Structures are given as C-alpha cells and as structure tokens.
Amino acid sequence: MASARADANTSLSQLDYTGSSRAADAQALSPDVAEWTSRLIVTSPSRHRGNIDRFAGGVLARTTKIAQSLTRSALRFLGVPYVFGGTTASGFDCSGFVQHVFAMLGVALPRTADAQYDFGRPAVGGPRAGDLVFFDTYGGVSHVGIYLGRGEFVHASSSHGVMVSHLSESYWASRYVGAKRLLASR
C-alpha cells in the first residue's frame, strides 16, 4: 500500500507536507504534537490527483466566497472619515482600513501600505475582487485599496474618507504601482 502510518516517535517537525525529514523538535511547539503525529498518515500525492483537484475546486469556491465577503465588509465603511494613523471605524487611513477589513475575516496584515505590498504575491493576470491595489502618491508605495472588480476599488482617501474610485481615473491611473493577491486562487 502506498500509504504508511508515521512512526509514533516521529515528531511533526521531522515531516513536512512532502514527507521529507526536518531536524527541529516539534515537542517544543505543542504538547499535542506527539498524539497528533501518532495518527499522521503520509501518502504519495500522485495516487490522489482526483482528490486534489476536488479539494482545489472546493478551495477556489471558498476563496470566491471569501472575496465576496471581503468586498461586502469593505463597503460597509463607506463614508467613514480619513484619520491619519486611523485603524478603527471612527476613522481610517488607507492601510489601517485594509488591515481592519482583512482582520474582520481573520487575516492578519502588516500595518503600512509598503509592508502590505511586500506581504502579497503579484496578481498575475490582473487584479481580482479582494486583491490589494497599490499606488505611489508621494514616493514609493504609499497608498492601498481593495479591488472590487470592474476597475473599481475601495479605499480611505485623505480628502473624502472611505470611498470607491476607479483605476482609470487620471489621478489613480498615473500613480498605479500594481496589485497583490493575498487570497488563494487557481
């Protein structure tokens, strides 16, 4: 049989997702590791391609729902005023707004626009709903918003608070740096 039960004495940190060994001692991570690893089954991924495709399809469907929930949550804050350094519904700056909306879904992001830019992966194929869009408004990545789709994004504007803008508006188009993806995609 292609699968084998992992030895109860093998620590979690010695097995990664590919089944290869690592040296660190997992007992320091959690007291439950020994019990969990005693039930760990290591399998060959090539024999389960159909299951992986079904799993990936389920992840994609959940990711789409997460993106929809994310954009819905972001739009709830329309009209909230801009506050430099703001991270609450009483007032946001751009990165505080993005950080707050993602935190509502359990996703922890860095605090500043430039750190959020470094955190994500490039949005290959253009931005999708839920991606972050970045702009150079005063030297380097300095503004961020959440892409909604159809060229629109929601962000905390220093002059209008939380609002929806379009990437094709001359101000934003000339300052656009790119989009980063934080949610899994196919």
pLDDT tens digits, one per residue of 92-133: 999 999 999 999 988 999 999 999 999 989 999 999 999 999
pLDDT (tens digit, 9 = 90+) per residue, 31-59?
444 444 444 444 444 444 455 445 444 44
Rounded Cα distance between 75 and 123, Å, is 22
The model's pTM: 0.67
Q: Which residues are catalytic?
A: 94, 143, 155
CATH code given to domain 62-181 = 3.90.1720.10
Per the CB < 8 A criterion, the answer to whether 167 and 151 are in contact is yes
Gap between the Cα atoms of 165 and 145, Å rounded: 9
Residues 11-32 have a mean pLDDT of 36
Task: Map residue 165 onto helix, strand or coil.
Answer: strand
Confidence of residue 67 (pLDDT cuts 50, 70, 90): confident
pLDDT reported for residue 68: 86
Q: What percent of the chain has a predicted confidence (pLDDT) above 90?
A: 59
pLDDT value of residue 183: 77
Q: Give the pLDDT of residue 58.
A: 44
Whether pLDDT at 16 is above 90? no
What is the domain partition of the chain in residue ranges?
Answer: 62-181
pLDDT value of position 63 = 58
Give Cα 143 distance to the centre of its chain.
17
Amino acid at 85: G
* DSSP string over 27-71: GGT-TTHHHHHHT-EE--GGGGHHHHHHHHHHHHHHHHHHHHHHH
CA Rg value for the chain? 21
**E strands, the chain, where?**
4-5, 41-42, 87-88, 91-92, 121-122, 132-135, 143-149, 152-157, 161-166, 176-181
The count of residues in the chain is 186
